[in-house]
Structure 1
């Protein structure tokens, strides 16, 4: 006879919390499209994308720069066979090479991250509630019309590309 454990602790699977959606379904002309809920949510996602790619790039650059510094500062083959060389001098050389390489890479990583994220994020749609909120706000709170007409019937959602929205804000 086997002793099977059917308790909740033994039979319940725990799942990781779901990752929140960057974009959600937004009604648009009888169907739905994926769009960021606001310019703020788009901006936060864009910055997060840039920061993650920049961090990964910088970590890779540090590793690559360490290897390059070691290769650039190793003594020529004919000196290695004679008992090595001055390790202090090689260490100083590696530090100089590494610092110069990392400094050059950090600026490039920021530009690389911006380029990688811009393509996708500038074409993304951002939803904005453009109509109806002004009308709703102008009605007195105790108005019968305000109670009869739900917010969803008053609000019209307009989706536009991030590129277009950013161009509009730059002009204003």
Structure 2
């Protein structure tokens, strides 16, 4: 059965590595399993169910990423990884003094805070399913679906 993919948060060499997709009609965070023996990515994924509020937060993070991709040349807000590095070393107030576009920096800060909550949830909640996944569609998460097979409860 085809399931909806909401985000492709990471991919490498045409392999979908992590993001949010439905599993049995419910949102889960999926993460690819790397094979040390093969020294390559597999088609197996660990799935962590997401609560409704964490799912909504994950979509906000994804939508911010798409927004940043469309506007980074105009706004000059750094990439989320670079922003996180700056934010670890400086307060938000300090960063705000360095730039005049307050609205863009507020969005970046909200995304930074959203990542904290989302990452904490994933660390506190273990995957419950291992499954093989075949992804089809666009890498940007639009018109993308996955077919899960060989399900195994953990």
- TM-score (normalised: structure 2): 0.26
Q: Which has the higher helix share?
A: 1
Structure with larger RCO (C-alpha < 8 A, sep 6+) = 2
- TM-score (normalised: structure 1): 0.24
Q: Which has the higher strand share?
A: 2
Q: Look at both structures and tell me which one has the larger radius of gyration over its CA atoms.
A: 1
